[in-house]
Amino acid sequence: MTDIVKLILDLLVFPGGLFAIFFGLFLIGIDRKIAARLQRRIGPPIYQPFIDLVKLIRKEMVVPDTAHVQAFRLAPLLGFAGMMAAVLLIPITGVYQGFGHSGDLLVLLYLLSLPAIALMIGGSASSSPFGAIGFSREMVMMMSYELPLLLVLVTVALKVGLATGGIATFSLSEIVQFQLENGALLFDYTMLPALLAFLVFIPGNMGVVPFDIPEAETEIVEGPILEYSGAGLALFKLMTSLKMVVVLGLAITLFFPTPMGENFLLNLLWFFLKCLVLMVISITVVRTSTGRVRMDQAFKFYLKYPTVLALISLILTLLQG
Amino acid sequence: MSTYTIPVGPLHVALEEPMYFRVQVEGETIVGLDITAGHVHRGMEFLVMRRNIYQNITLTERLCSLCSNNHPFTYCMALEKIAGIEIPERAEYLRVIADEIKRIASNLFNAAMLAHIIGFDSLFMHVMEIREIVQDTKETIYGNRMDLAANCIGGVKYDLSDEKIKYLMKQIDRLKKPLEEIIDIYINNKFVRARTEGVGILPKEEAIRYGVVGPVARGSGIDYDVRVKSPYAAYDKIKFNVHVENGCDVRARAIVRLREIQEAINIIEQCLKKLPNGPTCIDYLPEIPAGEAVAKSEAPRGELIYYLRTNGTDMPERLKWRVPTYMNWEALNVMMPGNKVSDIPLIISSIDPCISCTER
C-alpha cells in the first residue's frame, strides 16, 4: 500500500508532476531570458512561462467545426501523459532512484516519441491544411532524429553491459551505478562522438531553430498547434516543458550522473545546474546562432552527422568489448 | 499525389501587409499560385481628386510607409513639369538625400524580414538594430521616423545646417562597418545561403517578359535603374554604380538590396560634399496651369511612375500612379512553382511587396 502511495506522490508531486513542471517551465524561462540577452533584447521575465500557462488554462478551448473532436481533444492529453510518465523514469542521482526496472531505457525511448505522435494526431485532427503539413513534417523529423538517438542509447547500453559482463543493459539504474563506480561516460573518449550525437539530437527533439520545421512560425504558422487554444494549448506547452526535463535529464543520466556529495538539496541543485549548462549549450546558443533549415536539408543532416558519430562510438565500444 | 490548396494570407505572420495567396501544392512542392488583391483598398485615387494640389502632397506621402518619400517626390516632379518650375539646385540635392535615407531604411527592413522568415531571429534583431541608426537620423533631421515630409512644390521643406551635415556624416559613417558585417553574413552564412540560394528563380528572359523593375530586375541580371536611365533631381551630377547580380534567386535580390544601401551611403556622401548654397525652395506660390505630365523615379522597390492631369483649378483632374510591386508580383507566378512550401513567404518577401501602394 505504501508503495502505491509513494508512487502516486512520485508521479504527482516529486520528482514528477508539480516539481517537474515547475522545473521545466523555469528552464524555459531562463532559456528565453538568455536568448533575449544574446539578441540584445531585454526579454520577458523568468516567470513568463508560468503566467502564460495560467492565462491559457483560464481561456476557452475552441474546437474547429471541421475537426475530429475526440482526437483533437485527446491529443494534448496523450502527449502530456506520456511525458508525465517519462519524468518518473529519469533518476536524479542522490535525490531520486528512478522508477527503475530492467528495461526502463527502452520504455523511455518509446515514451519520448509520444509528444511527436500527439502533435501529429492533433495536427491532422484539426483539419487545417497547416496542421496537415505539420503532420508530415513532424513525421519526417521524427524519422530523422530517432535513428541517432537509438544508436546512442544502444551504444551506452552496450558499453555498460559489456563492462559488467553481460551483453547490453537497458536499465537506467545500472547505467548510473556503473558510472558512479567507474567514472562518468562524459570523460570516456570512445563515448565523445555519441555525446556529440546526443547534443545534436536535443534541438531536433525539442523543436527549436534550426529544427523547428514542423512548427515553423513564419512558414506554416505553428503547424499542428495552430488550431489549439486554451487548455489544449496549455497542455502542449506543459508537454514541451516536461520534454525539456526528460531529454536533458536523460542526457545527464547517460553521460554525467555524478552527484555532489550526500546532501539531498545540494544534489538537486547540482542536477539543476547540469541541466542549465546542457540547455544553454544545446538549445539556447544553437537557436540564437542559426536560421531554420528546410525539411530535406534537416533530414540529410541527421542522416549524415549524428548517425555517423553515434556509429563511430558504437564501433569503438564493440572493439573495446 | 493529390493536389491541395494552402491559403497564405490575407493575414499571415510572414506578410507585413494583407495579401491573399492561394497556393496549389503537391506534397511539399508548389505547382500553382493564385493572387487575390484588394484587402487594403482605401480609394486613394478618388481622394486625390477631392483635395487640392497642396493637400495631396500630404496624402500621397501616406500611401505607403516604407517608400513614403518617393510618392510626394514624384508627385511634385509631375506638378513642376506641368507648371514649368525650375527648382533650386540645393533643393535637388536635398531631395536626393531624403530619398536615399529612405532607401537605406527600406532595404534594411527587407533584409531583416528575410532573416525573420528563415527563423534567424538574431540576425533579424541585429539588422533592425542597425536600421535604428537610420531611424534616429531621420528623426533628428526631419522630425519624423517614417514620413519625412521633405518635399513641397518647387523644392524641399527642410534645410541642412552645417551642424546637421556633420551629424549626418557621422551617422552614415557609423553605418558602414556593421553594414559590411551583415553583407558578409547574407552572402556567406551557411544557414542563410542554404535557404536563399537557388530559391525563387526568375530567369532573365522571364524577367524581361514580365517587365519587372527595381531590385527584382537587377537581381535577374537586368541593368535597369531610373536614376541612371532617365536621371531626375541631382542624380545626373553624382557618380554611382548600379549593382546587378546574375543569380536570379532570392539571394541575388537580397544582395542587390544590401549593395544598394552601400551605394546610397556613397550618394549621400557625394551630395553632402557637393551641396551648393542657395535657397531650398522657390519663393512664390506657383499657379498650376491646365496640362498633363508623367514623372518617374526609382523607389526602393523599383520604378515608380506618376501620371497627373490638371485643369487649371486647384484640384487635380486625374492622378494615376504605377507602383513597382504591380509589375513585380505577377512574376511570382514564375518564381513559385517547383519550390517547397517552406519557401513561400521567403519568395513573396524577396519581391519586397508593398501592398498598400499597389491597392491604394
Q: H/E/C letters for each residue in B198-228?
A: CCCCCCHHHHHHHCCCHHHHHHCCCCCCHHH
Dist. CA B130–CA B89, nearest whole Å = 31
How confident is the model over B107-122, as pLDDT tens digits? 999 999 888 888 888 8
pLDDT of residue A100: 67
Distance set, CA A277 to CA A96, A152, A284 (Å): 21, 21, 10
Question: Closest chain A residue to B192 measured between Cα atoms?
Answer: A291
* Mutation to test the A interface, candidates B6, B23, B341, most A Cβ within 10 Å: B341
**What is the reported pLDDT for B228?**
86
Residue A52 lies in a domain: no
Give the chain A residue nearest B11 (alpha carbons): A221
Answer yes or no: is pLDDT of B1 > 60. no
Strand partners of residue B305: B296, B322
pLDDT for the residue numbered B108: 92
Highest mean pLDDT among A4-8, A11-15, A149-153: A149-153
- Cα(A156)–Cα(A146) distance, rounded to whole angstroms? 15
Cβ separation A39–B125 shorter than 8 A: yes
Residue A6 lies in a domain: no
Average pLDDT of the segment spanning A34-59: 90
Say if B54 is an interface residue toward chain A (CB within 8 Å).
no
Query: Which residues on A lie below 8 Å from B6 (Cβ)?
Result: 129-130, 133
Quote the CA–CA distance of B163 and B176 in Å, as a whole number.
Answer: 21
pLDDT (mean) for A24-38: 90
Q: How far apart are CA B348 and CA B85, in angstroms?
A: 40
Nearest CA in chain B to A208: B119
Return d(Cα A318, Cα A321) in angstroms, integer.
5
Residue in B4, B125, B191 nearest the CB of A290: B191
What is the distance in angstroms between the Cα of A181 and the nearest Cα belonging to chain B?
Answer: 43
Other CB atoms within a 10 A radius of the CB of residue A260 amount to 15
Kindly tell me if the per-residue pLDDT of A241 is higher than 60. Answer: yes
**Is it the case that residue B284 has pLDDT exceeding 60?**
yes
Instruction: Look up the CATH number of domain B42-347.
Output: 1.10.645.10
Nearest chain A residue to B195 by CA distance is A293
Measured between CB atoms, which of A39, A210, A218 is closest to B191?
A210
Complex prediction ipTM: 0.77
Which residue among A39, A216, A288 sits closest to B342, beta carbon to beta carbon? A216
Average pLDDT over residues B290-302: 89
Q: CA B13 to CA B28: how far, in whole Å? A: 20
For residue A224, the one-letter residue type is P
Per-residue pLDDT band at A1 (split at 50, 70, 90): low
Domain boundaries, chain B: 42-347
In which residue are the cell numbers 527584382 written?
B216
User: What pLDDT does residue B13 have?
Assistant: 66
Task: Give residue A45's pLDDT.
Answer: 92
Residues 6+ apart with CB under 8 A from A168: A154, A157, A158, A160, A161, A162
Q: What letter would DSSP give residue A96? A: B
Distance from CA of A241 to the nearest CA of B (A): 21
Residue A18 lies in a domain: no
Whether residues A296 and B122 touch (CB distance < 8 A) is answered with no
Beta bridge partners of B316: B310
Q: List CB contacts (< 8 A) between A219 and chain B.
A: 14, 117, 341-342, 344-345
Contact B122 A289 (CB under 8 A): yes
Cα of B153 to nearest chain A Cα, Å: 43
Distances (CA, A) of A184 to A94, A187, A256, B249: 15, 6, 5, 50
- A296 contacts in B (CB within 8 Å)? 340
The torsion of the CA quartet A191, A194, A198, A199, rounded to 10 degrees, works out to 70
Query: How far, in Å, CA of B73 to CA of A154, rounded?
Result: 69
Asked whether the predicted pLDDT for residue A41 surpasses 60, the reply is yes
Tell me which chain A residues have a C-beta less than 8 angstroms from the C-beta of B28: 133, 136, 295
Query: Between chain A and chain B, how many beta carbons pairs sit less than 8 Å apart?
Result: 81
Whole-number pLDDT of residue B10: 79
All residues of chain B having their beta carbon less than 8 Å from the beta carbon of residue A288 are 121-122
C-beta contacts of B140-143 below 8 A and 24+ residues apart: B140/B164, B140/B167, B141/B101, B141/B167, B141/B168, B142/B98
Q: What is the pLDDT of residue A29?
A: 92
What number is the average pLDDT over the span A146-164?
A: 85
Average pLDDT along chain A: 84
Q: Which residues of chain A neighbour B118 with C-beta distances below 8 Å?
A: 218, 291-292
Residue of B121, B132, B195, B336 to mutate when probing chain A, most A C-beta within 10 A: B121
Most confident region among A262-266, B130-134, B283-287 by mean pLDDT? B130-134
Quote the pLDDT of residue B14. Answer: 67
What is the tens place of the pLDDT at every residue in A93-151?
776 777 767 778 888 888 888 888 898 888 888 888 788 788 888 888 888 888 888 88
pLDDT digits (tens, 9 = 90+) for B21-59: 888 888 778 888 888 877 888 888 888 888 888 888 888
- pLDDT of A218-238, one tens digit each? 677 777 888 888 888 898 888
* C-alpha to C-alpha distance for B70 and B299, rounded to whole angstroms: 6
| Chain B residues in contact with A221 (beta carbon < 8 A) | 12-13
pLDDT at residue A2 in the model: 76
Beta carbons of A41 and B118 less than 8 Å apart: no
Probe site for chain B from A218, A304, A305 (most B CB atoms < 10 A)? A218
Burial of A51 (0-12, 13-18, 19+ CB in 10 A): exposed
What is the pLDDT at residue B234? 84
Residues 90-129 of B with CB under 8 A from A: 115-123, 125-126, 129
Give the total number of structural domains in chain A.
1
Which chain A residues touch B343 with a CB distance below 8 Å? 294
Residues near B341 by beta carbon (within 8 Å), at least 6 away in sequence: A133, A219, A220, B6, B23, B25, B28, B29, B30
Domain range for A220: 61-320
Domain assignment present for A306: yes
Look at residue A22 and tell me if it is in a domain.
Answer: no
Q: Across residues A250-259, what is the average pLDDT?
A: 84
Q: Which residues of B touch A133 (CB under 8 A)?
A: 6, 28, 341
Indicate which of B29, B114, B118, B123 best probes the interface with A, i.e. most A CBs within 10 Å of its own CB.
B118
Q: Which residues of B touch A292 (CB under 8 A)?
A: 118-120, 191, 195, 342
The helix (H) or strand (E) run that includes residue B297 is: strand B291-299
Residue A152 lies in a domain: yes
Task: Indicate if the pLDDT at residue B231 is higher than 60.
Answer: yes
Query: What average pLDDT does this structure show over B90-115?
Result: 90
In tens, the pLDDT along B309-336 reads 888 888 888 888 888 888 888 888 888 8
Q: Which of A211, A283, A294 to mutate against chain B (most B CBs within 10 Å)? A: A294
Say if A217 is an interface residue toward chain B (CB within 8 Å).
yes
Specify if A41 maps to a domain: no
